[in-house]
Each structure stands twice: as structure tokens, then as C-alpha cells.
Amino acid sequence: MSKTTHIVLVDDDRQVIRFFKKTLEASGYAVTATTSSRKALALIHQSMPDLLITDLNMPKPDGFDLLITERPKFPALPIMVVSGMKTPMLDAAKFVGAVATLEKPVSAEVLVEKVRSILGK
């Protein structure tokens, strides 16, 4: 039996959480979702996920804080940023360590395709 791929998802918008979680679980991923980046950090420390998906614009620590401050502690953890912020901010997220970015709103198909390409599955 193969290991289920685990994704931690953090976004302060509950609608985004519901949509992403439902979409990714329907594609076979195990998703732990939270609206708190502090809780996401605790989840990462408890059991290293295969992928972290984060919003940028959240209460502190925000997505940039996760990338700049926390990413060095978890160098093997790929981080994907999904944000309503436009291209310059998404480019900045890539510059500081995001493996991929998506601009919201995003379709279910594009989300799953991007996650599959990151995880190689």
C-alpha cells in the first residue's frame, strides 16, 4: 500500500480552505487545513507534510514570513503560494523560496495540475 501524500493548507479565507480541501481530497491527497499560520507551523513540526500551500496576505506570520523565516528550518518542504496578490508579489514569493505560485481565483483543474507537477505524481 502506498503512502498517502499529505498537504498542509493555510489560508485565512474559510471559503478558499473548503474549496481547496475538497478539491485536493477528491484527487486523493490527505489535507490538513487551517486558517492560522501559527497552527500550520505546529502541524509541520508534528509531522512533515509533502507540501505546504499558503496564502501570502494573512495575519502575522503571513506567507512571506513562512517563506523567509521558517522555510530554512524545513529545506526539503516544497511551498506553493496561492494568492490574490498580483504578479509582482507572486514573483517575490518565488524569489524567496516558493516552488510555485498561483493567482486566485484558481480553478480546481489548475490547482490539482500544479500540485501534481510539484509532487511528481
Specify the CATH number for the domain of residue 98.
Answer: 3.40.50.2300
Type of residue numbered 55: D
Classify residue 1: in a domain, yes or no.
no
Classify residue 18: in a domain, yes or no.
yes
Give the pLDDT of residue 1.
32
Q: Which of 70, 6, 85 is CA-nearest to residue 37?
A: 70
Would you say 105 and 77 are in contact if contact means Cβ atoms under 8 Å apart? no
Classify residue 62: in a domain, yes or no.
yes
Q: For the chain, how many helices (H) and strands (E)?
A: 5, 5
Please give the average pLDDT of every successive group of 10 residues along the chain, which has 121 residues: 82 96 97 95 92 93 88 91 89 94 96 96 65
Classify residue 24: in a domain, yes or no.
yes
Q: Is 115 left (phi over 0), alpha (psi -120 to 50) or beta?
A: alpha
Classify residue 28: in a domain, yes or no.
yes
Classify residue 115: in a domain, yes or no.
yes
pTM, to two decimals: 0.94
Q: Is 97 left (phi over 0), alpha (psi -120 to 50) or beta?
A: left
What range does the domain containing 35 cover? 6-119
Give the pLDDT of residue 28.
95
Classify residue 33: in a domain, yes or no.
yes
Classify residue 69: in a domain, yes or no.
yes
What's the number of domains the chain is made of?
Answer: 1
